[in-house]
Chains A and B, each alone.
Chain A
Amino acid sequence: MWPLLAVVLIHALIVGLWVAPSTAFRDAVGYDRMSEYIHPWFEQNWSLFAPTPRRGEVMFEARAYVVDGETGEGEATEWAELTAIEDSLIRGTPAPPRTMKLTRRTADDLHGARNDMSAEQRDLLSANYFRTPIEELREILEDSDGDSGAVDRYMRADEVATLIATAYADVTWGDQGEIARVQYRTSSRRVPPYSLDQDRTLEDMEPTVRDYGWRHHLELTDEQVELFAQYATTEAD
């Protein structure tokens, strides 16, 4: 009886330390040792909306460069705001589907990686990589001063963003010609501080846009494009 009780109490202690803010006790046990026990099954994080509640709106847009099959002339499409799809999935729906966070989380990942990069690295992101392999961007980023973990995270998020832009472009502009390349961009704005007269709302804030260069149009199967259409053709209201 007592050993079983002890196991449960030790478990609770480790979980308690894991979710707690940094303290002498937490540091004494050490992150790695706790992580070994917690990950992956008991992973949890309860600093939701805290200490600072989420207050930034993020947006994700995509466009494509479409080459007309007959004339051979190419043109860039208008920017399409994919996040608007997710807004319409949420609005008026008390139980929205999981895809409601698809581009928001992608934009969050991109912003998170950018924030940990040096200014020099950030400037490199707006270069085009539709002829040169994107792996060269990784090499250049790693060669410049800055956080290499952030490079890794950016490259992963970039691939996700490029896949989403590609799939969206195939669904939306695929019938207009050959999609030669795609581009995505993200932006964010912050809910203005609370004030009694509420003279400014989120809508009044000017978004900060972050540009990235053109990227390869990636190869997707017809079935993948077809399945993605369920999301991409959602009417944004």
Chain B
Amino acid sequence: MGLLRRHVLAPVLSWIRALEDWLLSERRALRGLAATRILVGIGALGILLSSFPARHVAWGPGSFWAEPMRETDEFSALTGFFATDSAVVFTLEYLALIAVSVGFILGWRTRAMNVVLVLGMTGLVERTAMLGNQGDNIMRIGLTLLVFMSVAEHWSLDARRRARGRARLQAGERLSLLHRLHYGLPVLSVWWTTLLHNVLLIALASQIFILYTASALYKVQGDLWQSGTGLYYPLSLPEFGVFPALNELLTANPFLLTVMTYFSVFVQLFFAVGLLHPVTRRLFLLGVIGLHGGIAVLMGIPWFSLAMLAYDAIFVTDRSWRAIENAVRAGVRGVRRRGLPVASDADEDESPPPEGRLDGQGIRRRQTIAERRARQPAR
């Protein structure tokens, strides 16, 4: 019995405690989620801008041709917002949605922008579901989950305002609920918002794992994917021919074609397990960047690819994001020192304040799991 307790029960209990600690001690992936916010926002903005000249025919009063398909509209509560006969009214609504996506990218009143953006984008693109793609679905699902997370703790206007509010708190001022809301300071208990954030982060991660794994499972059963020529067929079609000559060049060599085809399948198939080890995690993240980058350029579906990359950003550790952040800052400083004009203001170098963390947590993060376990009091 002692053996069972020591080797089965104890590890399970300590794993549960580690999970509790993971869920409750701090909000995870704050920089990754800030990157998600920015990238998925650019994706939404990209859809809106690239279709701007075609907006009336695609979704506006010029989309009368799709009317028969609207009998089966499942999003009628939202699509109704864009159902106007007036080109002017539609354009104003469209511009408002563009403004919301910009607000979301900049992290201005982020949670409100997030809610309006997901409702607005869904209402718009589902008005003509016929022209849509799976990118619309993953954008909607991901944005929905983001509503319950903190996605503007870094690289955002909200973070600046929050810092000002926190400064007032630290100066000993007492802020009313309205003031707290104005500064974007937490109004619910930290315990609850942290838990909600982390649990929804798990939901987003699961969604991405499910997506890649299912996508790969369907591919591995296909003869054309197995024979390593799967990519040749769509890349030969004019509908995926942004640069037909490039597609032809890439598929002409059978070895290169096989490598690319197998790469597409295996990056997806092993993505979830690949994240478990620090080395393979980097390889697989570079892999999906390559995959989505290729799809974006060769097949003319850049916003779908960008949305996917946005969600993959949560798997880049906070430490890596900080390194990227520092490198960017150093680059900006270097450019400035050489006297080249850069569009930025004096606040540029002000790092966003650490959120709800104790000093020295950066050190704690670098501890190995074994060390952390050793610190835990025995039960």
| A230 touching B300 in the complex, CB below 8 Å, given contacts A41-B140, A98-B51, A164-B65 | no
CB contacts (< 8 Å) of B242 on chain A: these are 90-94, 96
CB-based contact B215/A97 at 8 Å:
no
Contacts of A100 in B (CB 8 A): 239, 300
Which A residues from 1 to 48 make CB contacts under 8 A with B? 1, 4-5, 8, 11-12, 15-16, 19-21, 39-48
B185-226 interface bits toward A, Cβ cutoff 8 Å, 1 = contact, 0 = none? 000000000011001101100110011001101110111110
Distance to closest chain A CB from B208 (angstroms): 11
Chain B hits for A15, CB < 8 A: 206-207, 210
Q: List chain B residues, Cβ under 8 A from A1.
A: 20, 23-24, 195
Distance of A196 from chain B, by nearest CB (Å): 6
Q: Is the CB of A227 within 8 A of B254?
A: no
Q: Does A224 contact B (CB under 8 A)?
A: yes
* Known contacts A8-B199, A96-B50: A43-B137 contact under CB 8 Å: yes
Smallest Cβ-Cβ distance to B230: which chain A residue: A53
Q: How far is the CB of B49 from chain A (nearest CB, A)?
A: 8
Chain A min CB distance to B81 (Å): 16
Q: Mark A78-115, 1 if CB is under 8 A from B, else 0.
A: 00000000110011111111111110111001000000
User: For the complex, would chain B's binding face be called helix, strand, loop or mixed by DSSP majority?
Assistant: helix
A40–B67 Cα distance when bound, in Å, is: 19
Q: How far is the CB of B303 from chain A (nearest CB, A)?
A: 7
Q: How far is the CA of A224 from the CA of B134 in the complex (A)?
A: 29
Given the known inter-chain contacts A86-B239, A93-B300, A95-B302, please indicate yes or no for A49 contacting B234, CB distance below 8 A. Answer: yes
B61 near A223: Cβ-Cβ < 8 Å: yes
B287 within 8 A of A: no
Among the listed stretches A69-77, A117-125, A155-163, A206-214, which one makes contact with chain B, having 4 or more residues with CB under 8 Å of it?
A155-163
- With a cutoff of 8 Å between Cβ atoms, the chain A residues found around residue B207 in the complex are 12, 15
Shortest A11–chain B CB gap in Å is 6
Stretch at the interface among B1-9, B69-77, B278-286: B69-77
B58 CB within 8 Å of chain A: yes
Q: Are A94 and B302 in contact (CB under 8 A)?
A: yes
Is A147 positioned at the interface, with any CB of B under 8 Å from its CB?
A: no
Contacts of B297 in A (CB 8 A): 94
Instruction: Give the contact-size bracket for chain A.
Output: 35 or more
Q: Could you tell me if A45 and B134 are in contact, using CB atoms closer than 8 angstroms? A: yes
Q: Are B20 and A95 in contact (CB under 8 A)?
A: no
Instruction: Report chain B residues within 8 Å CB of A57.
Output: 237-239
Q: Does A132 contact B (CB under 8 A)?
A: no
Residues of chain A contacted by B24 (CB below 8 angstroms): 1
Q: A20-B217, A53-B222, A196-B254 are in contact. Are A227 and B238 (CB under 8 A)?
A: no
Q: Which residue of A lies closest to B254 (CB)?
A: A196
In whole Å, how far is A200's beta carbon from the nearest beta carbon of chain B? 11
Smallest beta-carbon distance A73→chain B, Å: 30
User: From residue B127, how far is it (CB to closest CB) to chain A in Å?
Assistant: 11
Q: Are B218 and A223 in contact (CB under 8 A)?
A: no
A133 interface hit (Cβ, 8 Å) = no
Of the residues B23, B131, B252, contact of A198 by C-beta under 8 Å: B252
Kindly provide the distance from the CB of A38 to the nearest chain B CB, expressed in whole angstroms: 10
Chain B residues whose C-beta falls within 8 Å of the C-beta of A230 in the assembled complex: 53-54, 56-57, 62
Distance of B376 from chain A, by nearest CB (Å)? 18
With the chains together, A67 CA to B52 CA distance in Å?
36
Which residue in chain A gives the minimum CB-CB distance to B297? Answer: A94
Pairwise interchain contact A19-B222, C-beta atoms closer than 8 A: no
A-B contact pairs, 10 of them (CB 8 A): A4-B195, A8-B206, A40-B126, A44-B134, A50-B230, A104-B239, A105-B131, A159-B67, A227-B57, A230-B56
